[in-house]
Amino acid sequence: MTTTRRTSVRLTQFAHGGGCACKIPPGELEDVLGALSAPLPATAGTPLLVGLATGDDAAVIALPTRGDTPAQAVVSTADFFTPVVDDPYDWGRIAAANALSDVYAMGGRPVLAVNLLAWPRDVLPFELAREVLRGGLQVATEAGCHVGGGHSVDDPEPKYGMAVTGLADPARLLRNDTGRPGMPLSLTKPLGLGVLNNRHKATGERFEQAVATMTALNRDASAAALAAGATCATDITGFGLLGHLHKLARASRVTAVIDTAGVPYLDGAREAVRDGYVSGGTRRNLEWVAPFTDFGTTDADTRVLLADAQTSGGLLVAGEVPGAPVIGELVPGGPHTLVLR
């Protein structure tokens, strides 16, 4: 469903990009981060279980056990971005759900978040910032996660998100490097958020199905994946399905085969691609994965949608998740990390 909502301030017009489409391109980011991994000595006492090496969704350390205390791991992440919608309350909700998603993508539960806010204080009224923060608090409360303050800066461009700390069972993590041949691939939210958000920014049309998808927590999907015995997952955000799946397949040393006919899309997504509402971030995603992908006979619009920069997208799980469509499988590694059929 699409509606047009008139607002006195259109937040998306104050941003050069929108949501996770404003991420630094994945290839450029990997060039920057490539030499920055510096593990602590074993005497540090808190082993790093997941770090920079595989480009996973969050960092994870193991807490030392004492006596009968069950083993626990701490999951740490941060995520923030420019306005993806004009409504400040919805933007806050979306940004919080997106930040919390990284913890769910690792198989954890978020327990504490702090706000990250950049605000053009001489341009936009603080009443709007309050609504953004209220939206973030509402979603964190829904997740059972405390919000304990945060940090703010005066910035020409509005940005909002959260740094989130979660807890997980170190023996039951969801990682992007544990995929094995024969595992099916399940996707828990439809694609198309990026192109619908880009259309919203350009026209002011409001896509209720996109807002509902972006504000939905990945909590239940994460729990269902763990209950099904899954060990491998990632969430689909700014690098698109193809980008995040490429990282998973590369880290797991397998090839991912996608059944393009099985991939779900939001209503209006194909029309948005047809009408040209494709972000630069999405095009950069497609350019990045192209050398690693056998596109087969997949048409150009479908390629764009598979690379579409999602904001607060679903989980991609190596395994079957009840209620989620299976969109492909992992097979032994070949000349490409991605194959489209």
For 281, the token pair is 């971030």
Q: Is 22 a catalytic residue?
A: no
Radius of gyration, alpha carbons of the chain:
19
From the list 231, 148, 173, the residue with the least C-alpha distance to 49 is 173
Pairing state between β 73-81 and 59-62: antiparallel
* Number of helices (H), then strands (E), in the chain: 10, 15
CB-CB contact of 163 with 112 (8 Å): no
Backbone angles phi, psi at 165, to 5 degrees: -115, 135
From the list 185, 4, 162, the residue with the least C-alpha distance to 87 is 4
For 169, the token pair is 């069972």
Catalytic residue, from 20, 22, 145, 232: name it.
20
For 304, the token pair is 């764009």
From the list 287, 295, 309, 285, the residue with the least C-alpha distance to 257 is 295
Instruction: Please tell me the distance from the alpha carbon of residue 53 to that of residue 36, in angstroms, as a whole number.
Output: 10
Cα–Cα distances in Å, from 257 out to 285, 312, 331? 18, 23, 7
With both helix axes pointing from N to C terminus, report the angle between 208-215 and 88-105 in degrees, rounded to the nearest 10.
40
From the list 75, 28, 72, the residue with the least C-alpha distance to 51 is 75
Catalytic residues: 20
